[in-house]
Chain A
Amino acid sequence: MTEGPVLAVEGLTTRISTRVGSFAAVDRVSFELYAGEALGLVGESGSGKTMTCLSLVRLLPKGTARIVAGSVTLNGEDLLAKSEGELRRLRGRQIAMILQDPLTSLNPVFTIGSQVGEAVRLERPRPARATVRARVVEALRRVRIPSPELRLRSYPFQFSGGMRQRVTAAIAIARKPRVLIADEPTTALDVTTQRQFLALLDELRREERMALLLVTHDLGIVAETCDRVAIMYAGRIVETGPVERVFSAPAHPYTQALLGSIPDLHTPRQRRLVQIDGEPPDMLSLPSGCRFAPRCPLAHERCAEYPPETAVDGGGSVNCWLHAGAGAAA
């Protein structure tokens, strides 16, 4: 396919100012997302994955966070150059987002029908009442809410957690966006409910050729639902690649340790897990070189300088000196 990416992010840098200082929560982040593709963005709390998402839709907390460099191109249009009014028209239609906790992202005093309808009513020219209703019912049916016509007048508290999350998905897909960002969409759900919701995202992506950016800390979810993965650590992407390659041959010591430290149902039972020593870094006093170096068992002098991006056999790239000399074979 010669079609270009739906979403292209280049050198995105977002700084956060706090009383004690400012730092780049998102630092020179670049990636591309194609139609119908699912990219997993993996990182721990504070690694900058949520800030990356909020930067993409430009919904950063006002006054404290600011995009200072880079570009975000959606269908060939520069998102960072848009006015607030233009952005409002793009959100929902071109790019939409699902948040972690459906309970806080739904308004408890409005019906499900009116909240899904709100997204539809934002369209210009404004659709007729009957059209709005029909589109809401269709969106609820798409996310498999049983008897949607009867559920329009229900309130969020009358729904279970999994159903609520499906309502937020219905809001996000009501206008058939090209890009769907899901930020930890299943963290608040039980495993069996999580499985259903992931299956739903997968189906929407395939049928609508929607591009999915799935943000999570759970590598298992990425392995199951994504085509490619990007691993973030302390604001930077340290490794990217096709899911099969990254999981079978992780290149970055952080990715390796992350994979080793997760209890698995199918590896031999062990009382002790691989552990990553130390703590995630303090963003206000980051090391000048590789940010993982202070916790890395393989760190050496060169790590005092930030490693270049190096291609990896089997696809993708890594920022690590262990690969910088030998790599570039792909």
Chain B
Amino acid sequence: MTEPLLELRDVTRVFAVHSGARLRSRPLSLRAVDGVSLAVWASTSYGIAGESGSGKSTLARLVLLLDRPTSGSLVFEGRDLATLDRAGLAWYRSRVQAVFQDATASLSPRMRVRDLIAEPLDSQRRVTRRETERRVLDLLAEVGLPERVLRQFPHQLSGGQRQRVAIARALILEPSMIVLDEPVSALDVSIRGQVLNLLADLQERKNLTYLLIAHDLALLRHVTDQIAVMYLGRVVEEGDTEILLADPEHPYTRALLDAAPHRHRRPVGVPLDETGSPLDLPVGCRFHPRCPLAADVCRADEPRLRELGPTHRAACHFASPKE
């Protein structure tokens, strides 16, 4: 294939915010996503990692057209999303769907499971009622739910079942891509494996592309092909998941890996100070106040993403190219 399914070109989203203390103060600009470029290829899983404030959720909202970029463009199947008309939007929404962290919040408590799953299809008014019923039943089986839940409300289901309903709802329009925003972090540990395995099976069966947003690097390592690590609005490292996590070049990626709780060893490295504020970005590299390698150059110049290998880029003055 020659073109990525989804491409972000220098995407920036700036919010005007009022600082907490004074209501009448002049608004500050918060660069939640700042010059992000990335490419997601069809039938692969692309992971976005980052802590709170990294901009990963804003990025998801931009991809879902729940928000528009301040500058830059998003291109899906060759079409610039900013140029879509009504019909174009309907087309995009049938191609790209989402599953969010908290199914309790994303599923209407007043709708029955059957209606929740069928709603996207009903709103597109393209198929007969009989066809809708057939697809709902098929999907129910595919996500591993018994038929009796069709008449039930979300509160009558367990957390894992609710997330399965959310997945079925995302699939009914037969999208090519699903944005998964922390899809298992609200679930119990013993249920996470089931849902992740279901997502892996569905991807294979339906040739789906996943854009997976998560803070858990261990999870991303197992389920994604490519990964981008975000820090205060910027992608600081990007590449093939396996290569990147085995041999990270950005000190922030390394710190995240060191900080992840680990069941075979005691902690290594010095714990980092807290994340900086996206409202008060330092001059130079955004990570330098927390970085163990910070030197004068880091306090003066912001590093750009550089190619370190065919599938590995990092934004660090000290990153070394690979053989």
Contacts and interface: CB of A to CB of B under 8 A. Distances in A.
Interface of A: 44-45, 157-158, 160-163, 190-196, 198-199, 217-224, 247, 257-259, 261-266, 269-277, 279-280, 295
A161 B182 CA distance: 20
A125 B12 CA distance: 59
Nearest to B185: A187
Nearest to A247: B263
A45 B192 CA distance: 13
A253 B242 CA distance: 30
Interface string B100-127: 0000000000000000000000000000
A191 B262 contact: no
B205 interface: no
B264 A193 contact: no
Contacts of B158: 279-280
Interface in B250-283: 255-267, 271-275
Given A199-B271, A224-B267, A273-B193, A218 B221 contact: no
A275 B194 contact: yes
Interface of B: 20-21, 51-52, 158, 160-161, 188-194, 196-197, 200, 215-219, 221-223, 242, 245, 255-267, 271-275
B218 A261 contact: no
B218 A264 contact: yes
A275 B193 contact: yes
Contacts, number: 134
Contact of B272 (A195, A266, A272): A195
A266 B242 CA distance: 11
Nearest to A282: B158
Interface centre among B189, B192, B245 (most CB of A within 10 A): B189
A190 B52 contact: yes
25 contacts: A161-B52, A190-B215, A190-B275, A192-B256, A192-B272, A192-B274, A192-B275, A193-B274, A194-B261, A195-B267, A198-B267, A217-B188, A222-B263, A224-B265, A257-B190, A261-B192, A263-B219, A263-B221, A264-B264, A265-B218, A266-B264, A271-B223, A275-B193, A276-B190, A276-B193
B274 A196 contact: yes
A265 B242 CA distance: 10
A330 to B, nearest CB: 23
Contacts of A220: 260-263
B265 to A, nearest CB: 8
A190 B263 contact: no
Contact of A271 (B161, B222, B274): B222
A192 B190 contact: no
A272 B197 contact: yes
Nearest to A257: B190
Contact of A279 (B160, B219, B257, B267): B160
Given A192-B51, A192-B259, A219-B189, 6 more contacts: A192-B272, A192-B275, A196-B273, A257-B190, A264-B263, A265-B262
A63 to B, nearest CB: 23
B255 A224 contact: no
Contacts of A271: 200, 222-223
B269 to A, nearest CB: 9
B189 A262 contact: yes
A191 B271 contact: no
A223 B218 contact: no
B9 to A, nearest CB: 29
A191 B197 CA distance: 24
A247 B255 contact: no
A132 to B, nearest CB: 27
A109 to B, nearest CB: 14
Contacts of A280: 158, 188, 190
Contacts of B259: 191-192, 194-195
Contacts of B188: 44-45, 217, 280
B194 A192 contact: no
A259 B189 CA distance: 10
A265 B257 contact: yes
B193 A157 contact: no
A55 to B, nearest CB: 22
Closest 3 CB pairs of A and B: A220-B261, A275-B193, A261-B193
A259 B264 CA distance: 11
B215 to A, nearest CB: 7
A272 B190 contact: no
A266 to B, nearest CB: 6
A225 B161 CA distance: 33
A279 B196 CA distance: 15
Nearest to B266: A224
Contacts of A270: 222
Contact of A191 (B161, B260, B263): B260
Contacts of B200: 271-272
B222 A263 contact: yes
Nearest to B161: A279
A87 B273 CA distance: 38
A158 B21 CA distance: 9
Contact of A44 (B190, B242, B266, B272): B190
A218 B196 CA distance: 17
B57 to A, nearest CB: 13
B291 to A, nearest CB: 12
A217 B261 CA distance: 12
Contacts of B261: 191, 194, 218-221, 223-224
B272 A196 contact: yes
Given A217-B188, A276-B190, A265 B221 contact: yes
B264 A163 contact: no
